Structure 1
């Protein structure tokens, strides 16, 4: 009932104040980096039934507050609980672990129900919320990697343009050979807490797998 009430209020606000909302939305959208503005525009324009009235109401000002995101996370938790799915959620956001339902040997039913819960609650808002906080400037992949490599004084890919780095990432041709470059590919914004030692371990493992092939 709480979700239905919130959606109804959002619809009422949009109906009563269409011109004001439109002007505010245009101003808000103009102040958001192109990367995020384009993603939000895409969500608002879609006719995908998984994009709910609540999702649209949250995103129409081109921002997602902590309270709005945590509200959706609580709805997700409630939905999983209603289906009897035991779960744990990362307080920082994003992380979710579920235990398979009794008798669901392959986990397919649990996955189906969990996906339905996520679609109807956090949905497209979660990736935008987390992304905007990790990358508030809206940097592209190549730009973010270039900045990380430069900040780390990494010699690998020195002089390679942002566009070329973007292409290498997109085509999966980016193959770091140093721990510094590997770290930048894994955590370009330094927000995931990946250490240089972990990056080195991953790099060593990947290089061993190449040799084994």
Structure 2
């Protein structure tokens, strides 16, 4: 199988996902190194149709990429049907890449983003860097409850959602 030469901030991820998926549809979507809204909508519809063929109801993906389904007519079959549809359609591959690109289009390291967030909030000094942040994760941030209120709020927000 020939893997396209991807470029851009997610080139490695596109290459890896393209190589590892068994879905022809996912490869078709990934081939150009982008996932359009139309391609994502097609994937969502195809995934829903596949689940419906297995007797499972699907109401679509939430903005964070999560989803819920009903049980299959034989509840013991539910996980297998869902997993089979994910592999057939490539919804796991397309969905994962789509969601991380939407949240972090430049593929900035999460630790770097959290560090910048803390600096922007003014709760750490200018010049605070990723190595400081990593050290603080093991040190003063390890017990967030003991942090001063302003620092605790900023730390929890920047660590959980560093990209805003």
TM interval, shorter chain, is: 0.7 to 0.9
Residue 136 of structure 1 aligns to a residue whose secondary structure is coil
The structure 1 residue matched to 2:84, chosen from 112, 116, 119, is 116
- Three-state SS of the structure 1 residue aligned to 2:43 is helix
Partner in structure 2 of residue 189 of structure 1: 163
- Structure with larger RCO (C-alpha < 8 A, sep 6+): 2
Ranges in structure 2 where 5+ consecutive residues have no aligned partner: none
Question: TM (normalized to structure 2)?
Answer: 0.77
In 2, the alpha carbon distance for the partners of 1:43 and 1:165 equals: 30
Report the CA distance shift for 1:183/1:102 in structure 2 as closer, same or farther (over 3 A): same
- Does residue 81 of structure 1 match 2:49? no
Which string of whole-angstrom CA distances, capped at 9 and with x for unpartnered residues, describes residues 22-50 of structure 1? 9xx54xx33x11xx11111112333xxx4
Q: Answer whether contact 1:141 1:166 (CA < 8 A) is retained.
A: no
Provide the C-alpha distance between the structure 1 equivalents of 2:126 and 2:13, rounded to a whole number of angstroms.
31
Unmatched runs of 5 consecutive residues or more in structure 1: 1-13, 15-21, 191-213
1:166 Cα deviation from its structure 2 partner: 5.7
After TM superposition, list the pairs within 5 Å mapping 1:58-137 onto structure 2.
58-90=29-61, 92=63, 94-102=65-73, 104=75, 108-121=76-89, 122-137=91-106
Query: Matched residues in 1 for 2:48 and 2:115: separation?
Result: 38
Q: Residue deviations 1:160-191, cap 9 Å, x none?
A: 5325646887x9x963440211111111112x
Aligned to 1:197: none
Cα offset, 1:110, TM superposition:
1.2
Q: Map of 1:111-190 to 2, 5 A cutoff?
A: 111-121=79-89, 122-155=91-124, 160-163=128-131, 165=133, 175=142, 176=144, 177=147, 178-190=152-164
